[in-house]
Structure 1
Amino acid sequence: MTVPERRVRGTHARRRFDLRATTVTFGLAAIVLILVGWVVRMAFDVAERRPAWVLVLVLGAATACLLRLRARKRNSAARAALRPTDALAVATATTLDELEDGQAARGAEHPRGEETTLVVPTRYEELSPDEFEEAIAGLCRRDGCTEVEVVGGAGDLGADVLAVAPDGRLVVIQCKRYSDDNKVGSQDLQRFGGTCFTVHEADVAVLVTSTDFTAPAVEYAERSGILCVDGERLRDWCEGTGPAPWELLPSEEDGTEPADRALW
């Protein structure tokens, strides 16, 4: 009969006692204790002799600790703020994309170069002065003027509408929305003539009214080079059966003389 062999568990080898290592360890520990005691004693001596220095050192150490804690808090706050900042950036980008898509859609519905429809009022006399100025500015835009601006109001110095004609000339227009029994007189033309060329440096000066002009007003306009547009010719201009005012006053490059520089 064969007897099974028992395995003998290996025993851990005991670590031998090293006298040299133990001596070195205790020696270093003693040196450290001596140094610590010497530093503490020196600190007490300095505290007795120079208490102000101790206070400064303590305050400096406390300040350094506070600054370190604050820096940690700022870093944590900055990390926490990154999340809402990223979300805001994403939302802004999404909004900009939507706006661009909306502008593209509107551009597709109303492509450039398409003529705008101008609502023609049945009677200019029924408009308010501000509405009358806006209507004249709309006619300028319709007929190809750029940089059209309504500037009428206090301190306008006689100019109600400013525009740049298709040929590049500056058009200065004064608007007079009067009732049927009121005509534009020579005083109105004189006030406008005193500023349209010297102050506004107009290439084409136009006075537009919803009614008519007096004879002295037309005479002054002929002498000063102001174009007068009465109610009848305003309706022709609006309906497209008559020319725009700046078309009656040729530019210097044309080399032709206008047939009538005043009332047309």
Structure 2
Amino acid sequence: MAARRQRLRLKKRTRRRLRGLGVVAVAAAGMWAAGNWSTVWPVLAVVLAAAVLGGSGWSVLRAHRRAVGQDRVWRAQEEARARELSMAEVDALSWQDFETCIAGLCRRDGCTDVVVSGKSGDLGADVVGRLADGRKLVVQCKKYAPHRSVPSQDMQKFVGTARLEHGADVALFVTTCRTFTKAAQELALRQDIVALHRDLLGSWVKGAHLETLVPLNGRGDGTRRRSSA
């Protein structure tokens, strides 16, 4: 479909150029018949030169745009590949080591008083600490297979305890899977939970600062539209 549209655009441009050259040719022929060739040929030469230069410039511009587009796609693919290489190491961790890894990322980004619970019955607080500005951070870590989605039940439990039980100023739900279910995502949006899916976690692992992730406020699965509920 894209190739067909491109061929149609090329045909239209070609027809426009031919029509323009036809007009010039007709005008030149008329002036030739009137015996004014000495006046016509300089103008005709200028018009033809402009047409050639315009066509060449357009070709160069198209080639530049195509190269920029290809470079942008290549960079996006390389960044995604780099995240996956880092996430392959994360995937090899046990759930306990995964929590320790998240705590390490928090410390790397300036968090203080970082503690790993590492036990059952922690009421959703796998990692707790304070951001550099003093706000209390509570993190729920879910190490799931990449193809899974975080269900709403997991998000409900975290929402119910993050602030009421632990007094979180910033509640962060981080997972190794790629998505949150729609219900889980909508709940995160309503309750101002920072929901980090696999791709954003990969960016964090690769060096993105936690302070740049916190403002996402529930948009961790890429959704940019807040729920109206």
- TM-score normalised over the length of structure 1: 0.48
- Structure 2 CA distance for aligned equivalents of residues 223 and 163 of structure 1: 23
Counterparts of 1:53-72 in structure 2, within 5 Å, are none
- Structure 2 residues without counterparts, runs of 5 or longer: 1-85, 221-229
Does residue 1:233 correspond to 2:189, yes or no? Answer: no
Residue in 1 that maps onto 2:12: none
Alignment of 1:134-149 (within 5 A): 134-149=100-115
> What secondary structure, in the 3-state scheme, does the structure 2 residue paired with 1:123 have?
helix
Residue deviations 1:191-247, cap 9 Å, x none?
A: 00000000100000000000121121111100011110111101101111x331x44
For 1:178, the aligned partner's letter is: Y
**Does 1:216 find its partner at 2:172?**
no
Map 1:86-105 → 2, pairs under 5 A: none
Query: Given that residues 152 and 159 in structure 1 are in contact (C-alpha distance below 8 angstroms), is that contact kept between their aligned partners in structure 2?
Result: no
Partner of 1:169: 135
Matched, 1:188 2:144: no
Q: Unaligned stretches of 5+ in structure 1?
A: 1-119, 250-257
With CA pairs under 8 Å and 6+ residues apart, which has the higher RCO, 1 or 2?
2
Which structure has more helix as a fraction of its residues? Answer: 2
SS at match of 2:128: strand
Aligned length: 134
Q: CA deviation at 1:127?
A: 1.2
1:124 matched to 2:90? The reply is yes
What is residue 158 of structure 1 aligned with on the other side? 124
Listed as ranges, the matches of 1:24-39 within 5 Å are none
Q: For the Cα contact (< 8 Å) 2:141–2:174, is it kept in 1?
A: yes
- Determine which structure has more spread, i.e. the larger CA radius of gyration: 1
- What is the letter of the counterpart of residue 205 of structure 2? C
Query: 1:239 is matched by which residue type in structure 2?
Result: K
Instruction: Please list the CA deviations of residues 166-195 of structure 1 after superposition, one character each: whole Å capped at 9, or x if unmatched.
Output: 000000000000012321111100000000
Identity of aligned residues (%): 45
| Secondary structure, counterpart of 1:154 in structure 2 | coil
Correspondence for 1:133: 99
Q: Contact 1:173/1:207 (CA < 8 Å) preserved in 2?
A: yes
Q: Which amino acid aligns with 2:217?
A: R
Note the C-alpha offset of 1:156.
Answer: 0.3
CA shift digits 1:60-90 (9 cap, x unpaired) = xxxxxxxxxxxxxxxxxxxxxxxxxxxxxxx
Query: Deviation at 1:151?
Result: 0.9
Aligned Cα root-mean-square deviation (Å): 1.6
